[in-house]
Structure 1
Amino acid sequence: MGERTVTSGGEVLRELLAEGVSPWLDGLRRSLLASGTLARLVAAGEVRGATSDPGALAAEVAGGTAYGQQLAHLACRSVPPATAVQALCAYDLRAACDELRPVFAATQGLDGHVSMGLEPWLAGGARVTADAFADAAAALHRAACRPNALVKIPATDEGLAATGACLARGIGVHVTDIFSVRRYEQVVDVWFAGLERARAAGLDLSAIPSLASLPVARIDAEVDARLRVGRAGRSGSGGRSAAALAIARLVYRRYEEGLGSARWRGLAAAGARPQRVMWSVGSPVETEPRGVPYVESLVAWGTVSAMSEATLAAAGRRGRLRGDTLTGQEGAARAAVVRLERGGVSFGEVAGVLEEESAVRVGRAWGALRGAVADRLRVGAGG
């Protein structure tokens, strides 16, 4: 498809679908449900899934009124903050799954999912075991009671073990915070193994969806920061590394290789669906549409682009599509990685730093959410 500029509504978002890319809303929260915004985006064909973020929820609980009625009810019942957080999240997950159920039905379960994370301490804290995490994930899945609900699990060493345990139990998983090709390869291996365990247990593999997401903007930000401070030679136009594009191209090649393997053919014959790759193109709470360039540059069949509300709107107004940007680009991607590594960028170090930062960020966001809920419960959830 040739390059074009789209100024009307969400035409470019719908045309992403023609390229095999599903647009998702990143930053699901109660106001988007109560206002009908999510329903309108789904009806217009501009959103095919949604994912929540504890930071977005915390901001809305602390500064908005959308959760007021439910919090008032919970306060009257003297529900503790941890239980109240679970109740708020379960409500949002159920409501969003219901809004996206028509997409889920129309695509026979390929699309129309909603993913939500778990409080770290809900699953046992920093040293959580795979079974403890799977137990917590199963509890959230039961609370949602929807076939299109996914549980978010970070791609840490502990998270990978939990992912395999969840898949083996038939729980759909959205693996998050993948910052390297190596980590993605580990996610794919765990996904295969989890589905194989589920098959051995006699579970319906077609009912176990999965996503693997890369926060591409954060990869670029970390590499570009290293370039700016002189720890590596400048590379690319204006000193920007385009590291995320290179990593995305290599990851997509691994995705294709996985679907071409004998291991996948055996699972597909048993009804399994591909684990799609998601590009998380910005921050769920951003007010400026910084993710549009990633929406335009990360296009390939079978992928997902997760956008904030601001980026969704901007992409619909002024996005440019240039067709498939990832397939057959492994050579260029490898050359870009080699160039950056020769300049001093260690991608292993970048991934390690980002993984640690992500764990801290997520922990703080859940802490802020619990604190905001506790404050609202103490004052009777006024507002």
Structure 2
Amino acid sequence: MLTFVNRGDHVTIETFPGTQLDNPYSMNVIDICPVGALTSRDFRFRARVWDMSFNDTICPGCARGCNIQAGVRNNEILRLEPRTNMKVNEYWMCDPGRLGEDRYVNENRVERPLVKRDGVQYETGWDEALGEAARMLRGIKPQEIAFIGSPFMSCEENYTLAKFAREVVGASNIDLNEYIDPSFADKKLRLADRTPNTRGAREVGIAPDKSGQDIKAIAEGIKQGRIRALYVLDQSLPVTDDIASAIAGLDVLIVHAWNPTAIASHANIVFATSTYAEKEGTFVNANGMVQHFMPAVVTQENERLMGMKMSRLDKFGAYNDRWTHGDRRECRPAWAILRDLAQQMGTRWDYGWSEDVVEEMANRFPGFRSMTYDMLEENFGVELGKGDRPTPHGFRYIPHDLRPQQMPTEQRG
């Protein structure tokens, strides 16, 4: 609990004696402080607010899908703040989401594709990595290949993985790993599912076919040598000691990753993949709300898309102004990587933007019918199956010069 101590111009804000402000939502006081007296030690003095650009996105820390805003300077996320959405998180976000979901975007990145030669991973170009992956996959029978989706990736990326597995490779062993932590959940916002898109991945086809194997059977198949190739969209896939020894016996291991991880360290090929903050897409939260998110950090791949999102300082600074630029990584969204890999294997997909993928999803899956990025933005998210009748998100302003009988029909009564 907070209180005021002293009087007049000597007033300070402190906690009550014997208490601490240490609950998982304590940093929301920063957002509601009317005079800016309460600040975040994590962000304080790092940048002037007017020197930053702010972009809307979705917190990937759990299945709630809190709406947030990413503040960026020098192409680095400096702070995350809650964004109002009365359907999802109202005005709030938890402290772990505020403090933890920018670290892996800014630091310790896989910035270029990696190919393993003689037991050592080397950086290489995209053409070589894609060509090598296609060559490896052609040499394995479809029933000996397994695909692991990712609840951390967007619906568009999981959909293209499922489509690639079934239509290009002809495989049916498709599943994902779930990340459940009951100790994280509370009765406010935080949920036990520590990923943003488990439900969305399932909705777009990340599940074994009738003849396919689920993730437990896939793991057992790797140990027994029945699975010879593994294609992994999930860089966080746990690698236990027995799995590590089994993975070493795989003929092919391809992993999408944005940070070096245990599973990526074993891979023959690592595709440098964009984080949530570097791509456009959709997540589906635990309540079935489909939400659109935009990139906040510029990469070589998304620079054209980001042109309208960057602040004027970012766009018009001179090249010797370090704070206006920052590194442009060579990472790509997984849907674009899979599109290019499909082409290497003789199948052409005409996806220019992620919006082309969501348009195809809307035609294939009833839950996404009629959904577009513009509609999702206008309605602050839309529930699965309600694309043609989205739930109203609040009041609509009617100009004062309209008489009651002139009001639109839907506003009467």
| TM-score (normalised: structure 1) | 0.23
Between Structure 1 and Structure 2, the one with more helix by share is: 1
- For the pair shown, which has the larger CA radius of gyration, 1 or 2? 2
- Relative contact order (C-alpha < 8 Å, sep 6+): which is higher? 1
| TM-score (normalised: structure 2) | 0.22
